[in-house]
A = this chain, B = another copy of it.
């Protein structure tokens, strides 16, 4: 019984090994209706090191939540993006000893995607606390968030090539041209229209929607949906 007591444990973990604070940071992307690939930034105000400069949304873990739960929570409370509409996957864990000048903070970074169409008007517009920034212009961020962002963009590009991850950045219904443009914006290259359509249709991940989009003074576009709602699968493009 004495032995059992010895083994019960870290209700009383020794002080010296509980030196770290755990955090989660989120690189949340969307393709804005002007076609720009954007990331959600927030105003970080932690003088003297980070006085009112931009950064990724994030915050500390609670003792009873996973890193992913903390990421979803802070994405909502700090950046006003609701988890229900977003896809999230773990990206990288940042553990440099001096990454936060105030003390040892280890941060689990997440990659999130949200369809622009499903954001409320207020979420789209942004304000002084949280806003959408074009990828190229999101620079000089707080902490090591430049590095997180660069890892996130690289990962997004890689996964766009061999998974259906872009289904999580598209509206529920979209034209093939819109899907092609999402690929072009994310991959930063132009794609042949006819080859793209043949390829994406041959993968059989899309189904025709009932409706068409009757936009400007031109032929209306057939709308499509992704067949498999949530998940992703291996492919190529």
Q: Which residues on A are within 8 Å of B, measured CB to CB?
A: 3-4, 7-11, 13, 16-22, 46-49, 60-61, 63-68, 90, 92-93, 95-97, 102-106, 108
Q: Is the CB of A102 within 8 A of B10?
A: yes
Q: How far is the CA of A96 from the CA of B93 in the complex (A)?
A: 15
Contacts of A93 in B (CB 8 A): 67, 90, 93, 108
Contacts of A103 in B (CB 8 A): 9-11, 13
Contacts of A96 in B (CB 8 A): 66
Contacts of A16 in B (CB 8 A): 63
Q: What are 23 of the A-B contact pairs (CB < 8 Å)?
A: A3-B47, A4-B48, A7-B46, A7-B48, A7-B49, A8-B102, A10-B102, A13-B21, A17-B21, A18-B19, A18-B21, A19-B63, A20-B20, A20-B63, A22-B95, A22-B106, A65-B97, A66-B97, A67-B106, A90-B93, A93-B93, A93-B108, A95-B108
Closest Cβ of chain B to A193, distance in Å, is 25
Q: Is the CB of A68 within 8 A of B95?
A: yes
Chain B residue with minimal CB distance to A65?
A: B97
Q: How far is the CA of A92 from the CA of B47 in the complex (A)?
A: 32
Closest Cβ of chain B to A43, distance in Å, is 17
* Residue of A18, A46, A67, A97 ringed by the most chain B CB atoms within 10 A: A18
Chain B residue with minimal CB distance to A70?
A: B95
Contacts of A19 in B (CB 8 A): 18, 63
Q: How far is the CA of A102 from the CA of B22 in the complex (A)?
A: 18
Given contacts A63-B104, A66-B97, A90-B93, 12 further A-B contacts (CB under 8 A): A8-B102, A9-B102, A10-B102, A11-B103, A17-B60, A18-B19, A20-B20, A64-B97, A65-B97, A67-B106, A90-B92, A95-B108
Q: Is the CB of A10 within 8 A of B104?
A: yes
